[in-house]
A and B are shown apart, each in its own frame.
Chain A
Amino acid sequence: NAGVTQTPKFRILKIGQSMTLQCTQDMNHNYMYWYRQDPGMGLKLIYYSVGAGITDKGEVPNGYNVSRSTTEDFPLRLELAAPSQTSVYFCASSETGVRGGTDTEAFFGQGTRLTVV
Chain B
Amino acid sequence: AQSVAQPEDQVNVAEGNPLTVKCTYSVSGNPYLFWYVQYPNRGLQFLLKYITGDNLVKGSYGFEAEFNKSQTSFHLKKPSALVSDSALYFCAVRDIGGSYIPTFGRGTSLIVHP
Known A-B contacts A40-B9, A42-B104, A99-B96; the reply to A111 vs B43 at CB < 8 A is: yes
Known A-B contacts A40-B9, A42-B90; the reply to A106 vs B51 at CB < 8 A is: no
B22 CB–A CB distance under 8 Å: no
* Shortest Cβ gap from B61 to chain A (Å): 15
* Shortest Cβ gap from A36 to chain B (Å): 11
In the bound complex, what is the Cα–Cα distance between A91 and B103 (angstroms)? 14
B56 CB–A CB distance under 8 Å: no
- Docked-complex contact B101 and A33, CB < 8 angstroms: yes
User: For the complex, would chain A's binding face be called helix, strand, loop or mixed by DSSP majority?
Assistant: strand
- Residue in B closest to A35 when the chains form the complex, CB atoms: B104
- Docked-complex contact B104 and A108, CB < 8 angstroms: no
Known A-B contacts A45-B101, A104-B32; the reply to A110 vs B42 at CB < 8 A is: yes
Residues in A with CB closer than 8 Å to B90 are 42-43
- Residue in B closest to A56 when the chains form the complex, CB atoms: B101
* Shortest Cβ gap from A35 to chain B (Å): 8
Residues in B with CB closer than 8 Å to A94 are 102
* Shortest Cβ gap from A18 to chain B (Å): 24
Residues in B with CB closer than 8 Å to A43 are 44, 90, 104
A31 CB–B CB distance under 8 Å: yes
* CB 8 Å contact bits of A47-60 with B (1 = contact, 0 = none): 01010000000100
In the bound complex, what is the Cα–Cα distance between A35 and B36 (angstroms)? 15
Task: Identify the interface centre among A90, A100, A108: most chain B CB within 10 Å of its CB.
Answer: A108
- Docked-complex contact B43 and A90, CB < 8 angstroms: yes
- Docked-complex contact A42 and B44, CB < 8 angstroms: no
* Shortest Cβ gap from A66 to chain B (Å): 14
Residues in A with CB closer than 8 Å to B103 are 45
Binding site for B on A (CB under 8 A): 4, 31, 33, 35, 40-43, 45, 48, 50, 58, 90, 92, 94, 97, 99-100, 102, 104-111
